[in-house]
Amino acid sequence: MKLSHFQFNLPTELLAEYPAENRDESRLMVINRAKKTIEHKLFKDIIDYFDDGDVMIMNNTKVFPARLYGNKEKTGARIEVFLLRELNAEQRLWDVLVDPARKIRIGNKLYFGDDDSLVAEVIDNTTSRGRTLRFLYDGSYDEFRNKLTELGETPIPKYINREVTPEDEERYQTIYAKVEGAVAAPTAGLHFSKHLMKRLEIKGVDFAEVTLHVGLGTFNPVEVEDLSKHKMDSEELIIKQNACDVVNNAISNKKRVCCVGTTSMRAIESSVSSARTMNPFEGWTNKFIYPPYDFSIANCMITNFHTPKSTLLMMVSAFCGHDLMKKAYEEAIKEKYRFYSYGDAMLII
Per residue in 181-231, pLDDT (tens digit) is: 999 999 999 999 999 999 999 999 999 999 999 988 777 789 999 999 999
pLDDT of residue 117: 83
Number of H helices, E strands in the chain: 7, 17
What are the φ and ψ backbone dihedral angles of 220, each rounded to 5 degrees? -60, 135
| 299 — pLDDT class (breaks 50, 70, 90) | very high
Beta bridge partners of 67: 82, 153
Does pTM surpass 0.85? yes
Banded pLDDT at 116 (limits 50, 70, 90): confident
Write the pLDDT tens digit of every residue in 221-258. Answer: 899 999 999 999 899 999 999 999 999 999 999 999 99
pLDDT-based confidence at residue 128 (cuts at 50, 70, 90): confident
- From CA 72, how far away is CA 148, in angstroms rounded? 17
Q: Can you give the pLDDT at residue 47?
A: 98
Burial of 349 (0-12, 13-18, 19+ CB in 10 A): middle
Q: Work out the mean pLDDT of the chain and round it to a whole number.
A: 95
Residue 127 above 90 pLDDT?
A: no
Q: Model confidence at 290, in pLDDT bands (50, 70, 90)?
A: very high
Q: Residue 205: what are its φ and ψ, rounded to 5°?
A: -75, 135
